[in-house]
Structure 1
Amino acid sequence: MPSNILPVFSLLVGTLFIFLGNGLQGLLLPVRGTHEGYSNEVLGLLGTSWAAGFVIGCFVAPQVVRRTGHIRAFSGFGAVICMNVLVTGIFVDDVAWLVLRAVTGFCTAGTSMIIESWLNERSTNESRGAIFSLYIAITLMGVVGGQVIVGMVDVTTPLLFMICGILYCFAILPTTLSKAQSPQPLKRVKLDLRALYRNSPISFVGILMIGMANGAYGTLGAVFAAQAGLGQKMIAAMVSITIFAGAVMQFPAGRLSDRMDRRHVLAGLSLVSAVAGLAVVLFHPMHVYAVIALVAVYGAAANALYPIAVAHANDFAAPEEFVKVSGGLLLLYGIGTIIGPTLGGPVMTHFGPHALFAVTAVAHLAVAGYAIIRSRQRAAPATADKDLYTTAPTAAAQLATPESVMLDPRAPSEGQPSRR
Structure 2
Amino acid sequence: MWPTIKSVASLLSSYGLLMLANAMFSTLLGLRSKLEGFSTEVIGVIMAGFFLGMLLGAIYAVRVVASAGHIRAFAAFASVMSVSVLAHVLIIDAIAWFFLRAIAGFCMAGMVMIVESWLNERSTNANRGRVLSLYMITNYLGGGVGQFLLTVANPDSFQLFSIASIIFSVALVPILLTRATAPKPSVPERMKFSSLFKISPVGVLGTLIAGMTNASFNSMGPIFAASIGLTITQISTFMASILLGGMLLQFPIGRLSDHLDRRGTLIISTLLTSLAAAGIIWASDQSSVIILFAIGAIYGGFCYTVYPLSSAQVNDMADQERLVQVSAGLLLAYGTGASIGPIIASQIMGVMGPAGLFYFIAACAVFLALFAILRIIQRPSGEHKASFLPLGSNGTSSKQLYSTVQASQNKRNTKS
Compute the TM-score of the two structures, normalised by the length of structure 2. Answer: 0.94
**Partner of 2:302 in structure 1?**
301
**Partner of 2:390 in structure 1?**
391
- Pairing partner for 1:411 from 386, 402, 407: 407
Q: Distance in 1 between matches of 2:285 and 2:59?
A: 44
Alignment CA distance shift 1:178-1:289 (3 Å): closer
Q: Distance in 2 between matches of 1:5 and 1:250?
A: 20
Q: Deviations over 1:86-115 (max 9, x none)?
A: 122333332221111110000111101111
Q: CA deviation at 1:283?
A: 7.2
Alignment CA distance shift 1:78-1:268 (3 Å): same
Q: CA deviation at 1:358?
A: 0.9
**Partner of 1:101 in structure 2?**
101
Q: Deviations over 1:236-292 (max 9, x none)?
A: 111111111111011111111112111111111111111222344467622333333
**Partner of 1:2 in structure 2?**
2
Q: Distance in 1 between matches of 2:208 and 2:396?
A: 13
Q: Is the 8 A contact 1:46 1:219 kept in 2?
A: no
Q: Distance in 2 between matches of 1:25 and 1:245?
A: 20
**Partner of 1:361 in structure 2?**
362
Q: Which amino acid letter does the alignment assign opposite residue 135 of structure 2?
A: Y
Q: CA deviation at 1:8?
A: 2.8
Q: Distance in 2 between matches of 1:128 and 1:284?
A: 41
**Partner of 1:176 in structure 2?**
176
Q: Distance in 2 between matches of 1:152 and 1:328?
A: 40
Q: Deviations over 1:306-350 (max 9, x none)?
A: 111111111112211222222211211111111111111111111
**Partner of 1:154 in structure 2?**
154
Q: CA deviation at 1:179?
A: 4.0
Q: Is the 8 A contact 2:144 2:243 kept in 1?
A: yes
1:345 correspondence with 2:341: no
Q: Distance in 1 between matches of 2:340 and 2:81?
A: 24
Q: CA deviation at 1:296?
A: 2.4
Q: Is the 8 A contact 1:347 1:356 kept in 2?
A: yes
**Partner of 1:381 in structure 2?**
382
Listed as ranges, the gaps of 5+ residues in structure 2 are none
Q: CA deviation at 1:169?
A: 1.2
Q: Which moved more, 1:134-143 or 1:55-64?
A: 134-143
Residue 407 of structure 2: SS of its match in structure 1? coil
Q: Is the 8 A contact 1:211 1:333 kept in 2?
A: yes
Q: CA deviation at 1:387?
A: 0.8
Q: Which moved more, 1:89-98 or 1:259-268?
A: 89-98
Moved over 6 A (4+): none
Q: Distance in 1 between matches of 2:76 and 2:28?
A: 23
Residue 46 of structure 1: SS of its match in structure 2? helix
**Partner of 1:320 in structure 2?**
321
Q: Which moved more, 1:206-215 or 1:56-65?
A: 206-215
Q: Distance in 2 between matches of 1:141 and 1:215?
A: 18
Q: Distance in 1 between matches of 2:139 and 2:279?
A: 30
Listed as ranges, the gaps of 5+ residues in structure 1 are none
Residue 391 of structure 1: SS of its match in structure 2? coil
Q: Is the 8 A contact 1:209 1:366 kept in 2?
A: no
Q: Is the 8 A contact 1:250 1:304 kept in 2?
A: yes
Alignment CA distance shift 1:280-1:175 (3 Å): closer
Q: CA deviation at 1:211?
A: 1.5
Q: Distance in 2 between matches of 1:32 and 1:269?
A: 33
Q: Which amino acid letter does the alignment assign opposite residue 156 of structure 2?
A: T
Residue 412 of structure 1: SS of its match in structure 2? helix
**Partner of 1:209 in structure 2?**
209
Residue 326 of structure 2: SS of its match in structure 1? helix
Q: Is the 8 A contact 2:283 2:292 kept in 1?
A: no
Q: Distance in 2 between matches of 1:285 and 1:175?
A: 46
Q: Which amino acid letter does the alignment assign opposite residue 333 of structure 1?
A: Y
Q: Which amino acid letter does the alignment assign opposite residue 406 of structure 2?
A: R
Q: Distance in 2 between matches of 1:241 and 1:197?
A: 34
Q: CA deviation at 1:34?
A: 1.6
Q: Which amino acid letter does the alignment assign opposite residue 398 of structure 1?
A: G
Residue 300 of structure 1: SS of its match in structure 2? helix
1:82 correspondence with 2:82: yes
Q: CA deviation at 1:356?
A: 0.9
Q: Which amino acid letter does the alignment assign opposite residue 359 of structure 2?
A: A
Residue 357 of structure 2: SS of its match in structure 1? helix
1:233 correspondence with 2:226: no
Residue 92 of structure 2: SS of its match in structure 1? coil
Q: Is the 8 A contact 1:148 1:237 kept in 2?
A: yes
Give the percent of matched residue pairs that are identical in Structure 1 and Structure 2: 34
Q: CA deviation at 1:374?
A: 0.8
Alignment CA distance shift 1:6-1:282 (3 Å): closer
Q: Distance in 2 between matches of 1:160 and 1:284?
A: 27
Residue 3 of structure 1: SS of its match in structure 2? helix
Q: Distance in 1 between matches of 2:77 and 2:277?
A: 37
1:63 correspondence with 2:63: yes
Q: Which moved more, 1:221-230 or 1:124-133?
A: 124-133
Q: Deviations over 1:70-98 (max 9, x none)?
A: 11000000000011111223333322211
The RMSD of aligned alpha carbons is: 1.9
Q: Which amino acid letter does the alignment assign opposite residue 385 of structure 2?
A: K
Q: Distance in 2 between matches of 1:299 and 1:403?
A: 24
Q: Distance in 1 between matches of 2:330 and 2:60?
A: 18
Residue 411 of structure 1: SS of its match in structure 2? helix
1:44 correspondence with 2:44: yes
